[in-house]
Amino acid sequence: MAQEYFHITEAELGQGAKIPILKLGDSGEVFYELALEMVEEIEKNNREGKKTVLICPVGPVGQYPIFVRLVNERRISLHDCTFINMDEYLNEDGSYIDITDSLSFRGFMDREVYSKIDEELVMPKEQRIFPDPKDRERVHKLIQELGGVDICFGGIGINGHLAFNEAQDELSAEEFAALPTRVLTISRETRAVNAIGDRNGAIDAMPKKAITIGFQDILAARKIRLGVFRDW
pLDDT tens for 16-40 read 888 889 999 999 999 999 999 999 9
Task: Give the DSSP H or E segment for 174.
Answer: helix 173-177
Cα–Cα distance for residue pair 150/53, rounded to 1 Å? 5
Once rounded to an integer, what is the mean pLDDT over residues 166-182? 96
DSSP sequence for 103-172 = T-HHHHHHHHTGGGS-TTTSPPGGGEE--BTTBTTHHHHHHHHHT--SEEEE---TTS-BTTB---TTS-
Once rounded to an integer, what is the mean pLDDT over residues 165-191? 96
Identify the pLDDT of residue 67. 99
Identify the pLDDT of residue 4. 76
Whether 6 is in a domain gets the answer no
The amino acid at residue 95 is S
Of the pLDDT bands very low, low, confident and very high (cuts 50, 70, 90), residue 232 is low
Of the pLDDT bands very low, low, confident and very high (cuts 50, 70, 90), residue 2 is low
Whether 4 is in a domain gets the answer no
Once rounded to an integer, what is the mean pLDDT over residues 128-156? 98
Among candidate residues 86, 88, 77, the one with its CA nearest the CA of residue 52 = 77
11 has pLDDT over 90: no
> For residue 210, how far is the Cα from the chain centroid?
14
- Which residue range forms the structural domain that includes residue 141? 24-226
Could you give the number of structural domains in the chain?
Answer: 1
* Sheet containing 209-212, strands listed edge to edge, beginning at the edge strand earlier in sequence: 87-90, 209-212, 182-185
Of 6-15, 59-68, 194-203, give the lowest mean pLDDT range: 6-15
Whether 146 is in a domain gets the answer yes
Identify the pLDDT of residue 230. 81
1 has pLDDT over 60: no
Q: What is the mean pLDDT of the chain?
A: 95
Q: What is the CATH number of the domain that holds 192?
A: 3.40.50.1360
Choice between 226 and 5, residue whose per-residue pLDDT is larger: 226
Whether 15 is in a domain gets the answer no
Identify the pLDDT of residue 82. 99
Of the pLDDT bands very low, low, confident and very high (cuts 50, 70, 90), residue 7 is confident
Among candidate residues 126, 133, 22, the one with its CA nearest the CA of residue 88 = 133
Alpha carbons within 13 A on the beta-carbon side of 174: 0
End-to-end CA gap in the chain: 18
Choice between 158 and 108, residue whose per-residue pLDDT is larger: 108
Whether 71 is in a domain gets the answer yes
Choice between 197 and 107, residue whose per-residue pLDDT is larger: 107
Task: Give the DSSP H or E segment for 53.
Answer: strand 52-56
Among candidate residues 5, 6, 113, the one with its CA nearest the CA of residue 62 = 113
Is residue 60 within 8 Å of residue 229, measured between CB atoms? Answer: yes
